[in-house]
Amino acid sequence: MNKLKFAFYWGASCGGCEIAVLDINEKILEVITLADIVFWPVAMDVKYKEVEAMADNSIDVCFFNGAVRTDEQEHMAKLLRKKAKTLVAFGSCACDGCVIGLGNLWDKETIFERAYIETPSTKNPNAVYPKTSITTKEGKLTLPRFYDTVKTLGQTVDVDYFLSGCPPPVPLILQAVEAISKNELPPKGSILMPSKSVCDECPREKKDKKLDKLKRIYELQDDQESCFWDQGVICMGPATRAGCEAQCPKVNMPCTGCDGPSPGVVDQGAAIISALASIATNDEVINQAVDPIGTFYKYSLANSILRRRVIKK
Amino acid sequence: MTEFEPVIIGLTCNWCAYAGADLAGTSKIQYPPNIRIIRVMCTGRIEPEFIFDAFRMGADGVLIGGCHLGDCHYQEGNYKTALRVSITREVLKSLGIEPERVRLEWISASEGKKFSETVKSFIEEIRRLGPNPLKGAPEA
Ligand code: FES
């Protein structure tokens, strides 16, 4: 049998998804028997030019992690879309924008201001900002252009499959690789994760109590058995797709929503707002929810209905 | 330049506010045509997604009309809506959309007059706020 060709790429991401690939441990050897890895910037020295020179559709599967926030990432997304038969949005950044997407609360100008001027550790008296190109005596140097808005992979190019998570859970990665090897992938556009919510995998007991006070996690004396909501703590589980086997609630941390919206939900934040409002007993409870965007949209702002904050110039 | 004509999406419950709007019509009470009414069975059916969608699609304001508290046909739909709307407003504020663009009003089936007055005053308020800031906002 001819070996498959795999590619891995990272856009705007933290690198955790790359680690998740290695977290499949010795199974990586099986992947290598199954496929040749033709492009993987984190691990191999293959230049963009060499990818450009590959024939269209010559890569069987490209796993793309990271969101799209610079023109370099957009270029690579479009390039890999052309070169790969199957493009998988791998991880929360590629699927929903993830924490990187919270950058959509600001724009390029405000982010640069903060990063290159205001941060206490920065000394920049001449207010020098990164430029996209500069000519020095050695020649022209370039940097990618930074966009105002973080986009998901799906908002940039046509995506075949989605596998979210921050990072994607190892069993689901293995399942996906197995499906690829057996040529048993579901219909295009599918999410390679279970069609249920985190609550379905969570062992904690739910009694559907009404809420008259919200607690933050540090105020909680967790009984380790009952649902976080019943104990007055916001948990993103009901609005979040399963696949992680509720690993956070199992170690006494409420779900923060990294697997993306649960089945049937478009806007993860909106869904949890509905849930919170349905069990809160009064407005006071609502007001106790600190940082609504950072809590309800921690991983999905860039893929929410409104996508970003409008900044009036 | 033509004057800004707000587009208002009205989400009204079948049992009260929608009937109130109907009464305004049959009683020939006039109000400006800026509102497009969508009937839902109960305001409790209105998810924050509906409100975000309305703004994404270009509405300048969203008016939600339901039964008076205690009168909801399904008992507590409107209590839930009231809480939902208040968090939704918070989220809108964080995303740069004026929370005043969402108004919640309790209007009974016999309050045709109140319906038309509410619509009129809301249109005026939206006129003051100007067009939905998402219109013409740069994409990337
Ligand atoms: S039926 Fe009117 S608000 Fe519930």
Structure tokens at A23: 């977290």
pLDDT for residue B140: 46
Gap from CA of A210 to ligand 1 centroid (Å): 21
In a domain, B24, yes or no: yes
Structurally, how many domains does chain B consist of? 1
Atom index in ligand 1 nearest the CA of residue B78 equals: 3
CATH of region A4-99+149-181 = 3.40.50.700
Structure tokens at A168: 């994607």
The parent domain of residue B35 ranges over 12-129
pLDDT mean over B75-91: 95
pLDDT for residue A313: 73
pLDDT mean over A18-46: 92
Contacts of B87 in chain A (CB under 8 A): 273, 276-277, 286, 289, 292
Backbone angles phi, psi at A180, to 5 degrees: -65, -45
pTM summary value: 0.93
pLDDT mean over B46-62: 96
pLDDT mean over A232-243: 97
Q: List every span in chain A annotated with CATH 3.40.50.700.
A: 4-99+149-181
In a domain, B140, yes or no: no
pLDDT for residue B137: 63
Gap from CA of B76 to ligand 1 centroid (Å): 8
B139 residue type, one letter: E
In a domain, B138, yes or no: no
Report whether pLDDT(B55) > 70. Answer: yes
CA distance B31 to chain A (A): 30
d(CA A8, CA A163): 14
ipTM for the complex shown: 0.92
Inspect the interface and report whether the beta carbons of A269 and B95 lie closer than 8 Å: no
Report whether pLDDT(B139) > 90. Answer: no
| A40 burial level (CB within 10 Å; 0-12, 13-18, 19+) | middle
Question: How much is the mean pLDDT over chain A?
Answer: 95
Q: Are strands A133-136 and A139-142 parallel, antiparallel or unpaired?
A: antiparallel
pLDDT for residue B138: 56
Inspect the interface and report whether the beta carbons of A269 and B91 lie closer than 8 Å: yes
pLDDT digits (tens, 9 = 90+) for B88-122: 999 999 999 999 999 999 999 999 999 999 999 99
Report whether pLDDT(A26) > 50. Answer: yes
d(CA A302, CA B20): 39
pLDDT interval class at B78 (50, 70, 90): very high
A14: left (phi over 0), alpha (psi -120 to 50) or beta: alpha
CA distance B100 to chain A (A): 16
pLDDT digits (tens, 9 = 90+) for B11-46: 999 999 999 999 999 999 999 999 999 999 999 999
Q: Which of B42, B51, B52 to mutate to test the interface with A (most CBs of A within 10 A)?
A: B52
Gap from CA of B72 to ligand 1 centroid (Å): 4
In chain B, the residue whose alpha carbon lies closest to the alpha carbon of A301 is: B95
Report whether pLDDT(A30) > 80. Answer: yes
The total of other beta-carbon atoms located within 10 Å of residue A2's CB is 6
Report whether pLDDT(B135) > 90. Answer: no
Using the CB atoms, write b or e for B39-59: b if 16+ within 10 Å. ebebbbebbbbbbbbbbbeeb
Backbone angles phi, psi at B82, to 5 degrees: -60, -45
Task: Give the mutation target among B22, B63, B67, B104 for probing the ligand 1 site: most ligand atoms within 8 A of CB.
Answer: B67
pLDDT for residue B1: 53
Report whether pLDDT(A116) > 50. Answer: yes
In a domain, B72, yes or no: yes
Is residue B12 in contact with ligand 1, taking CB distance under 6 Å?
A: no
Inspect the interface and report whether the beta carbons of B96 and A292 lie closer than 8 Å: no
pLDDT digits (tens, 9 = 90+) for A239-294: 999 999 999 999 999 999 999 999 999 999 999 999 999 999 999 998 899 899 99
Is residue B44 in contact with ligand 1, taking CB distance under 6 Å?
A: yes
Report whether pLDDT(A188) > 70. Answer: yes
pLDDT mean over A188-199: 97
